[in-house]
Amino acid sequence: MQLQKFGAFSFLAGILIAIFFGIIPSLRNLTWVAVVLMILGILVGLLNIEDKNISLFLLAAISLVAMSTSLNAMPVIGDLLRAIIINLVQFVGPAALVVSIVAIVRVSNSNWIWNLFLIFFIKKQIIYLILKS
Protein backbone atom coordinates (compact mmCIF):
# COMPACT_ATOMS: atom_id res chain seq x y z
CA MET A 1 0.00 0.00 0.00
CA GLN A 2 2.86 2.40 0.78
CA LEU A 3 4.35 1.95 -2.71
CA GLN A 4 0.99 2.77 -4.29
CA LYS A 5 0.78 5.99 -2.27
CA PHE A 6 4.36 6.86 -3.17
CA GLY A 7 3.60 6.17 -6.84
CA ALA A 8 0.48 8.35 -6.68
CA PHE A 9 2.39 11.19 -5.03
CA SER A 10 5.17 10.83 -7.64
CA PHE A 11 2.60 11.18 -10.40
CA LEU A 12 0.97 14.22 -8.81
CA ALA A 13 4.35 15.83 -8.10
CA GLY A 14 5.50 15.26 -11.68
CA ILE A 15 2.40 16.86 -13.15
CA LEU A 16 2.55 19.85 -10.78
CA ILE A 17 6.29 20.39 -11.36
CA ALA A 18 5.83 20.17 -15.13
CA ILE A 19 3.07 22.78 -15.08
CA PHE A 20 4.67 25.11 -12.52
CA PHE A 21 8.11 25.21 -14.16
CA GLY A 22 6.49 25.57 -17.58
CA ILE A 23 4.36 28.58 -16.64
CA ILE A 24 7.11 30.77 -15.18
CA PRO A 25 9.47 31.89 -17.99
CA SER A 26 12.52 32.40 -15.75
CA LEU A 27 12.26 28.80 -14.50
CA ARG A 28 12.10 27.14 -17.92
CA ASN A 29 14.90 24.96 -19.28
CA LEU A 30 16.50 24.17 -15.93
CA THR A 31 18.52 20.97 -16.09
CA TRP A 32 17.71 19.84 -12.57
CA VAL A 33 13.98 20.12 -13.28
CA ALA A 34 14.37 17.77 -16.25
CA VAL A 35 16.30 15.31 -14.08
CA VAL A 36 13.66 15.41 -11.35
CA LEU A 37 10.89 14.92 -13.91
CA MET A 38 12.71 11.96 -15.43
CA ILE A 39 13.27 10.32 -12.04
CA LEU A 40 9.62 10.83 -11.13
CA GLY A 41 8.63 9.42 -14.52
CA ILE A 42 10.67 6.28 -13.92
CA LEU A 43 9.05 5.87 -10.50
CA VAL A 44 5.59 6.32 -11.99
CA GLY A 45 6.36 3.77 -14.68
CA LEU A 46 7.54 1.25 -12.11
CA LEU A 47 4.91 1.85 -9.42
CA ASN A 48 1.70 3.17 -10.93
CA ILE A 49 0.86 1.50 -14.21
CA GLU A 50 -1.11 -1.71 -13.81
CA ASP A 51 -1.41 -4.44 -16.43
CA LYS A 52 -4.89 -3.35 -17.49
CA ASN A 53 -3.72 0.24 -18.11
CA ILE A 54 -0.52 -0.43 -20.07
CA SER A 55 -2.03 0.00 -23.54
CA LEU A 56 -3.97 3.13 -22.58
CA PHE A 57 -0.94 4.71 -20.93
CA LEU A 58 1.34 4.00 -23.89
CA LEU A 59 -1.23 5.37 -26.33
CA ALA A 60 -1.58 8.56 -24.26
CA ALA A 61 2.21 8.92 -24.04
CA ILE A 62 2.60 8.53 -27.81
CA SER A 63 -0.16 11.08 -28.39
CA LEU A 64 1.47 13.56 -26.02
CA VAL A 65 4.85 13.26 -27.73
CA ALA A 66 3.28 13.56 -31.19
CA MET A 67 1.24 16.59 -30.16
CA SER A 68 4.24 18.34 -28.62
CA THR A 69 5.72 18.98 -32.05
CA SER A 70 2.62 20.74 -33.41
CA LEU A 71 2.52 23.68 -31.01
CA ASN A 72 4.35 26.00 -33.40
CA ALA A 73 1.04 26.63 -35.17
CA MET A 74 -0.27 28.62 -32.18
CA PRO A 75 2.05 31.62 -31.82
CA VAL A 76 0.15 33.47 -29.08
CA ILE A 77 -0.25 30.75 -26.47
CA GLY A 78 2.20 28.36 -28.08
CA ASP A 79 5.22 29.32 -25.96
CA LEU A 80 3.43 28.68 -22.69
CA LEU A 81 1.91 25.43 -23.87
CA ARG A 82 5.18 24.33 -25.45
CA ALA A 83 7.06 24.78 -22.16
CA ILE A 84 4.44 22.85 -20.21
CA ILE A 85 4.22 20.08 -22.82
CA ILE A 86 8.01 19.73 -22.99
CA ASN A 87 8.07 19.28 -19.23
CA LEU A 88 5.23 16.75 -19.44
CA VAL A 89 7.10 14.84 -22.15
CA GLN A 90 10.20 14.80 -19.95
CA PHE A 91 8.01 13.33 -17.21
CA VAL A 92 5.93 10.88 -19.25
CA GLY A 93 8.70 9.76 -21.62
CA PRO A 94 10.74 7.80 -19.05
CA ALA A 95 7.54 6.33 -17.61
CA ALA A 96 6.52 5.18 -21.09
CA LEU A 97 9.95 3.65 -21.63
CA VAL A 98 9.73 1.68 -18.38
CA VAL A 99 6.13 0.62 -19.05
CA SER A 100 6.94 -0.52 -22.57
CA ILE A 101 9.89 -2.58 -21.35
CA VAL A 102 7.71 -4.08 -18.60
CA ALA A 103 5.05 -4.90 -21.21
CA ILE A 104 7.60 -6.60 -23.46
CA VAL A 105 8.97 -8.62 -20.56
CA ARG A 106 5.49 -9.64 -19.41
CA VAL A 107 4.53 -10.69 -22.90
CA SER A 108 7.67 -12.79 -23.13
CA ASN A 109 6.90 -14.11 -19.62
CA SER A 110 10.59 -14.32 -18.73
CA ASN A 111 11.70 -13.20 -15.28
CA TRP A 112 15.38 -13.45 -16.15
CA ILE A 113 15.02 -10.71 -18.79
CA TRP A 114 13.48 -8.37 -16.21
CA ASN A 115 16.24 -9.11 -13.69
CA LEU A 116 18.91 -8.58 -16.33
CA PHE A 117 17.36 -5.26 -17.35
CA LEU A 118 17.22 -4.02 -13.75
CA ILE A 119 20.84 -5.00 -13.10
CA PHE A 120 22.01 -3.33 -16.31
CA PHE A 121 19.91 -0.18 -15.77
CA ILE A 122 20.94 0.31 -12.14
CA LYS A 123 24.60 -0.39 -12.88
CA LYS A 124 24.61 2.05 -15.81
CA GLN A 125 22.97 4.81 -13.73
CA ILE A 126 25.42 4.34 -10.85
CA ILE A 127 28.40 4.54 -13.22
CA TYR A 128 26.91 7.64 -14.87
CA LEU A 129 26.37 9.38 -11.52
CA ILE A 130 29.90 8.54 -10.38
CA LEU A 131 31.45 9.85 -13.59
CA LYS A 132 29.29 12.96 -13.58
CA SER A 133 30.31 14.01 -10.07
Residue 84 clears pLDDT 60, i.e. is over it: yes
**What is the spatial distance between Cα 94 and Cα 99, in angstroms, rounded to a whole number?**
9
Task: Give me the pLDDT at residue 125, please.
Answer: 63
Q: How far apart are the first and last CA of the chain?
A: 35
Most confidently predicted of 11-15, 76-80, 110-114: 11-15
pTM for this predicted structure: 0.72
Task: Give me the pLDDT at residue 17, please.
Answer: 92
- The Cβ-side half-sphere exposure at 5, using a 13 Å CA radius, reads 2
Domain range summary for the chain, segments of one domain joined by +: 2-132
**What is the spatial distance between Cα 87 and Cα 1, in angstroms, rounded to a whole number?**
28
Residues 6 or more apart whose CB falls under 8 angstroms from that of 40 comprise 10, 11, 13, 14, 17, 91
In order of 23, 79, 82, 130, the CA distances from 74 in angstroms are 16, 8, 10, 42
Mean pLDDT of 45-72: 80
